[in-house]
Structure 1
Amino acid sequence: MERKNVLFTVAFLNGYHGSVIHVYEWARHLVCLGHDVCVTCINYTNAIQKLFVTSGIRVYKTNEISQKKSYDIVFAYHFPIITYLLSFELIECRKLVLGALSPFEPLESLPLFWERASLITVVSQEVLQKTLSKIEVPHKQIRVFENCVPNDFIFYETKLNSNKPRNIGVISNHVPEELRRIRNYLPASTKVVYLGSDEKNCSLVTPQTLSQFDVIVSIGKTVNYALCMGIPVFEYDYFGGCGYISTRNFDLELMTNFSGRASQRHCPPPN
């Protein structure tokens, strides 16, 4: 396979949230295939930079780029970054792939020059529909690339502890109040652990992280991880959620990337 020079753009590498992990997993995969991969962003934390660099992915701040460089492929997320790089002629590329990971975040909008893209990727049918409602993208130019799951999760041996969950993992960067109170309604023997950017436990979600729990309460990528490991998932977060993912609701929830927006079912805590 011919070695390619690949660039990813993303606004911030400042935490273990969706866009960061999405770019990290794709970039790491391309490194494993033998390609030369780097990422540019507005800013980063030392911990996230170290995560990328340890995996063979170089990281640059966008404002530190001073010389024009050519890339075989650019995967562009968060349109201001690619707009800046192209406007000031800091990069050129043979293939430009524009990506959108959310239907409502302004940073996820496509740039005005979207017609120049070799391909546009969206993470769900929901994002596809929202995108097509705003701009007339030819169907051959846009594809749904659902959240990927690294082999680490797929081939990890998981042993479910019991039919009655004793260890519940709430994995969220924005825990709603009703999930804060679930300890009040569970047996004393049931342990609830909160993992996320606002918690004491904040780190990259790995198969080892998930394997310690009998049930995962989360949305988005973590749902994909847990399902591939065979761990029951209760879909719920600040958008609400459908509850347990099953064969009855899987297809519907997948369309909105297991975000909870399909049902928007909220369970407010009792007064």
Structure 2
Amino acid sequence: MKKMKALLCTGRLDSFSGSELVIIEFGQELRRRQFVVHVYAHHIAESLEASLLKAGIVAKSCDEIDLASYDLIYTQQNALSLLLDAQAVDQLCKVGFPYIIFAHLSPYIEIEAPLSRLESEIATRIIVNSEETGKALAAFGAAYRKAIVVPNPTQDVYISHTPITAIRKILIVSNHCPDEVLAARDLLISAGYQVDHLGEGGNVAMMCPEILHDCDAVITIGKTVQMAILANRPVYCYDHFGGPGWLTDQNYEEAAALNFSGRDQPVKKTADEIFEDITRFKPDIPHFYRKQKPFLIRFWVTLLLRDLKSHRRKIPKNRDDMQSLARVDRCMSIVCAQAFNNHFLLRYVLPRKMRFIADRDKWIQDRDGWIRERDDLIRQLQLQIYERDQRISERYSLIRALHERLRSPALVRRCLRNFSHRFAAKPRCAEDHDPIERI
């Protein structure tokens, strides 16, 4: 039986952040369902390419992709539009469009907004990651008001039923960890807690069940929240937007509606406040943790495959209009790709370079400090050596002076004279007489 083929499209695969994990985990689940999975991105970092290969997902360039050969196409960040030139659209109009999912992952990042009418014309399904994103897209027309909320689901390998009775080991998961969280981490470590940081500025690696199951609580936002919920780990929802803190049955609905981004309560806390929140918290798993089905990617893929079985390729009649829309979309997608590239440069590359420069400057300052300390030590040693040489020189001078005095003729004559006088003045005893004279 011929395997079904899927193409997953995204803007960039550069770091282990939310949108990258969406692609990787979706691809892994499709591979588990015996799909051949290819991925396209404007740029793929070497570290991410290795993760894709490990998951059995093959990266493809524009020239290697034949859109008509796929049964399922998933696209986010408008990446598919760069592949939909007039020729590709003309071919798809002849053979029919495959099952296409357009995903929108943010209500405020411009690259996540629809481009032209082409999307609504060819989309089989339009999905959003939160109610907030769905409300933002509703203004684009009826097709977007029917968008399905798929709340960043993840794999069931994160499921754990191990109870948490005390919090001593905390995991921060963030690629943009705010200063107050880093300061709170130092306070927690001083108080005896073990606090690890996964992401930019800490251990840069892909999240996995072993890392999550090894901690007692998580400080994070976004997709990692769903992973922690499956793992039955308490979540302190807070990052660069702020956040509600510990997720409870009372604040869950508002936090979930905004994709656990923290924007539901965009209030910044101090390091002391975060420290107090965490140290006073008593582990208590909220009731909503039992509602895990929407957070499982296999649940959504099962629904998708049921829908895919009944899908029939759509052959549009207005081929000329579709080609015109494709030209507009492609031009806009090139602009969007450049905008996305600039966004990536400003948000990730520039901060990384700034951190590198700051680390380099700190290293230079530390090195200069070490050099100054070394020079001070050398000067102290030179001074000690000089003082020692002075003492040795003084002793040599004293020895030479004594030696000269000992060799002085006047001293020799005086010593001989004193010795002669002492010897001559000594009286002779009877015992000292010659024995012959005693006879």
How many angstroms does 1:143 deviate by? 0.9
State the secondary structure of the residue aligned to 1:265: coil
Q: Does residue 98 in structure 1 map to residue 97 in structure 2?
A: no
Deviations along 1:36-92, whole A, 9 cap, x unmatched? 110001111222111111211111233x4476652112111111x211211253574
* Pairing partner for 2:264 from 245, 262, 265: 262
Note if contact 1:11-1:77 (Cα within 8 Å) is conserved in structure 2: yes
Aligned to 1:47: 47
CA distance in 1, matches of 2:17, 2:67: 30
**RMSD between aligned alpha carbons?**
2.1
**Partner residue, 1:75:** 74
Which ranges of structure 1 fall in alignment gaps of 5 or more residues?
none
Alpha-carbon distance in 2 for matches of 1:176, 1:234: 14
Aligned partners of 1:238, 1:249: CA distance in 2, in Å?
Answer: 19
Secondary structure in 2 aligned to 1:175? coil
* Structure 2 letter corresponding to 1:84: L
Aligned residues: 263
Q: Which residue of 2 aligns with 1:110?
A: 114
Q: Which runs of 5+ in 2 are unaligned?
A: 273-439
Match of 1:179?
A: 181
Quick check: 1:84 aligned with 2:88? Answer: no
Q: CA deviation at 1:215?
A: 1.2
The alpha carbon displacement at 1:111 in A equals 2.4
Q: Specify which structure has the higher proportion of strand.
A: 1
CA distance, structure 2, for counterparts of residue 140 and residue 243 of structure 1: 31
TM-score by length of 1: 0.90
Provide the TM-score with structure 2 as the length reference: 0.57
Q: Say which one has the larger Rg.
A: 2
Q: CA separation in 1, counterparts of 2:223 and 2:75?
A: 20
2:233 alignment partner, one of 209, 231, 234: 231
Is 1:136 the equivalent of 2:141? yes
C-alpha distance in structure 1 between counterparts of 2:27 and 2:186, whole Å: 42
| Cα separation, 2, equivalents of 1:43 and 1:241 | 32
Residue 207 of structure 1 and its aligned partner are, at CA, apart by 1.2
Is 1:193 the counterpart of 2:190 in the alignment? no
The Cα offsets for residues 173-226 of structure 1, whole Å up to 9 and x where unpaired, read as 000010010035435311211110232x11111111112211100001111111
Q: What is the identity, as a one-letter code, of the residue corresponding to 2:198? A: L
Deviation at 1:131, TM superposition (A): 0.6
Kindly, what percent of the aligned residue pairs are identical? 25
* Shift in alpha-carbon separation, 1:159–1:152, aligned structure 2, 3 A: same
**Cα separation, 2, equivalents of 1:12 and 1:227:** 27
Separation in structure 2 between the aligned mates of residue 261 and residue 33 of structure 1, nearest angstrom? 36
User: Secondary structure at 2:211's aligned position in 1?
Assistant: helix
Q: CA deviation at 1:137?
A: 2.8
Per-residue CA distance 1:108-131 (angstroms, 9 max, x = gap): 112212222111110110100011
